Chains A and B, each alone.
Chain A
Amino acid sequence: MPLHIARKREVILLLALQIAHLIIISAQVPLHGRTTVLEAAVFNLLSPFQRATAATLTGIASFYHDYIGLRHARTENIDMRKRLDQALLELNRLRTKQQDVQRLEQLLRLGETLPYEMEPARVIGADSLNPMKTLFINKGLLARIRHNCPVISPEGFLVGRVVTPIAPSQATVQLLTDSEASVGAILANSRTYAIVSGIGNGRCLLRFVPSIVDVAPQEEVVTSGLDQIYPRGILIGRVVSSLTTGSVFKDITIQPVITPNQLEYVLVLTGEKPSGPDATANPN
């Protein structure tokens, strides 16, 4: 086909197309705000395609966001677990501290009520071979702790006494459950004097109680003060069993109130509190 004819055909095609476009445009010009038939037809024809496109894209976007969200959730989960572990550690640390504070408060209250000079001390160890024998505390000579100073629990129950060796900042406590320990005692109901001796297994014997004395189970045994070591009236334990064997004395077993391996703090009685107005004015 010659080029000039081809060019004419192009121009004719252009004119035809543009006239067609103008007719189509004219048919759609809104009159009095009404929708034209062509607009409605095109809208109806394209709306399913647009809906499908929108749904597909929304689905892809949603999937992508979910995936990203899931990845973030996983990372966040690991991070939160770490933080939870740290928080639990912190919680345990604070609980321990709170318990320490409560015990110290208890010690302080007891120290205020008893007529003795007291030195609170932390239990830092126990006899590795027999934990019912001795304890070690973190106070010593520097805190005016001397040999035979009585030691009580924060609740006010008898623990034992300070024995050698005593270091400037550490001391040894002989527990009343030690088989070599003895304490002057008195039965709370019958007011019978006796001696409590440790037997090394966590319990003690109440010795020299005459057979004629009635001893009830769970009867309290307190210090008598006759041994010149322990002050009178400190609770030692309760009667577990009382047997009459035909001899002069009964075989009485008592259960000490304290549990040595649960002690964390103790009070060492370093002497009697000075009393009277002179003493208050000048304690030395």
Chain B
Amino acid sequence: MAEKIVHINYVRIAGALVLAITIQVVLGHIWGRAHFYLNPLTIVVLFAAIQGSPIAGMISGSLAGVFQDSFSGQLIGVSSFSKTLIGYAMGVLNIKLVIRSVFFLAPLIFLASCAEMLFAVLLDRIVQVRPIVTGSSILTVACGNALIGTTIIKLGDQIAHAKKK
């Protein structure tokens, strides 16, 4: 299997994370139930992992987690832990499998989102803190992430392809 070394633009990742947290905050203000259907920060982490590398996934996961925990009132580190793990796993998986098909990408993002939230719930349970996500919201957020994430990643692919041409 071919492996590639990708140079990561961390400024872009940081910008994308700021944009994602802004979208999350604004959506939350406009529609109180927005966080039940989408997690833009997870999408950025998965995007960085798939378009970049495992390190990009980890770094973005850590930063995204800190952002999310800070803004959600959760214990800081819970989301970071789970997002870092998912970012890394997704990055490694992308290197091994070269995920590009929509029919593969969407379920993978769905599963990654579910796993990320389940990790967070597990950590909350361990430290005996009430989790902020519920079973049904895990599914709805994972669906939303799969839909929007797949679209964004495919758009990113097309833009990169167009630039190469």
Interface residues of A (CB under 8 A from B): 3, 6, 10, 13-14, 17-18, 20-26, 28-30, 38-39, 42, 46, 50, 53-54, 57-58, 61
Contact = CB atoms under 8 A, between A and B. Distances in A.
Interface of B is mostly: helix
Contacts of A21: 62, 65, 77-78, 80-81, 84
B98 to A, nearest CB: 16
Interface in B50-72: 54-55, 58, 62, 65, 70-71
Nearest to B55: A10
A13 B8 CA distance: 16
Interface of B: 3, 5, 25-26, 29-30, 54-55, 58, 62, 65, 70-71, 75-78, 80-81, 84-85, 88, 123, 127-129
Contact of B75 (A14, A17, A25, A61): A25
Nearest to A6: B5
A42 B76 contact: yes
Contacts of A24: 76-77, 80
Given A22-B77, A28-B77, A58-B29, 15 more contacts: A14-B58, A18-B84, A20-B77, A21-B77, A21-B78, A21-B80, A22-B81, A24-B80, A25-B78, A25-B123, A25-B127, A30-B129, A42-B70, A53-B25, A54-B29
24 contacts: A14-B58, A17-B62, A17-B84, A18-B84, A21-B78, A21-B80, A24-B77, A24-B80, A26-B127, A28-B76, A28-B77, A29-B75, A29-B127, A29-B129, A30-B129, A39-B76, A42-B70, A42-B76, A46-B71, A53-B25, A57-B29, A58-B29, A61-B29, A61-B30
A240 B54 CA distance: 117
A212 B95 CA distance: 138
A54 B85 CA distance: 32
A39 B129 CA distance: 14
Contacts of B26: 57
A53 B75 CA distance: 21
Q: Which 7 residue pairs across A and B have the least CB separation, nearest first?
A: A24-B77, A25-B77, A21-B81, A21-B77, A57-B29, A28-B75, A29-B127
Contacts of A17: 58, 62, 80, 84
Contacts of A28: 75-77
A218 to B, nearest CB: 83
